[in-house]
Amino acid sequence: MGSILLGASELRALTRSPEKPMVLILLGPPGAGKGTHATPLSLSLDLPHISTGDLFRAQIQSNSSLGQKAKFYIDQGSLVPDDLVLDMLFDRLKAQDCAQGCILDGFPRTLAQAKALDLRLENKSQILALNFHVPDSILIDRIAGRLVCRDCKKSYHKLFDPPATADLCGECGGRLYTRDDDQASIVSKRLEVYREETMPLIDYYAAQNDVLKEVDGQGAKEQVFQDVLNALPSFAKAISSQ
């Protein structure tokens, strides 16, 4: 796809309506690149990046009661029950930085979560979804070598995108680690859960006019990100028709 090369301010103007803040959902299987692209997208659009997985990992790190409950499910590769996810996410959405919209990474993951989000937003925000399409063989290779920064959450890959200094984040100097749930046995369960619970969301959003855009997430990081930026202007119709 040719590059449209919109500047950050043009992108923001296209994707931001004063009446209806944009809630941009990043959909796709584990390892599809949702987190990788959410960070630069958050900078380009000046919207907060909210990852329910990161929120849970922060709860686990602080050993809160929510963290202890969530860890039980995360360690098995299962989904955390909807009520725990919804309370945590809706609390986060109350923060002032979400007033102009946000980027959701890893949420919703079930139809019940998607419907709860619709109810919570009361039609006052415009939901848009980008679905990252990546074949399983690529996902497994990506997850198998994934390293994540404990501090800024930037992800690297042992082979495809290694850090310049072993075990250290080139962005913030934080320590890199391998997520417990990135072990092969748990990844296959996460992919199965994705197919059963999360894939139906593609049809859910595709059934709504101009809400869903597909992105080919297979290529190099820079190319995929360019495709993400190219997909955004096509949301303008949904936004301007409000």
| 232 binding ligand AMP? (CB under 6 A) | no
In this chain, which of 15, 17, 36, 52 binds ligand AMP, going by CB under 6 A?
52
| Count of other CB atoms within 10 angstroms of residue 215 | 23
Distances (CA, A) of 70 to 32, 53, 73, 78, 80: 22, 10, 6, 10, 6
The secondary structure element, H or E, covering residue 137 is: helix 136-144
CB closer to ligand AMP, 79 vs 130? 79
| 74 binding ligand AMP? (CB under 6 A) | yes
| 53 binding ligand AMP? (CB under 6 A) | yes
Looking at residue 110, what DSSP letter applies?
S
* 179 catalytic per annotation: yes
If DSSP codes are grouped into helix, strand and coil, which group holds residue 165?
Answer: coil
Instruction: Choose the stretch contacting ligand AMP; rule: CB under 6 A; options: 3-11, 13-21, 101-109, 132-140.
Output: 101-109
Q: Are 197 and 181 in contact (CB under 8 A)?
A: no
CB closer to ligand AMP, 146 vs 239? 146
| 101 binding ligand AMP? (CB under 6 A) | no
| 139 binding ligand AMP? (CB under 6 A) | no
In this chain, which of 80, 102, 116, 129 binds ligand AMP, going by CB under 6 A?
80
Distance in angstroms (rounded) separating the CA atoms of residues 153 and 149: 5
Catalytic residue among 71, 146, 154, 213: 146
Cα-Cα-Cα-Cα torsion 61, 42, 117, 14, nearest 10 degrees, comes to 180
Q: Contact positions toward ligand AMP, by CB under 6 A?
A: 30, 51-53, 56, 73-74, 78-80, 85, 106-109, 113, 181, 190
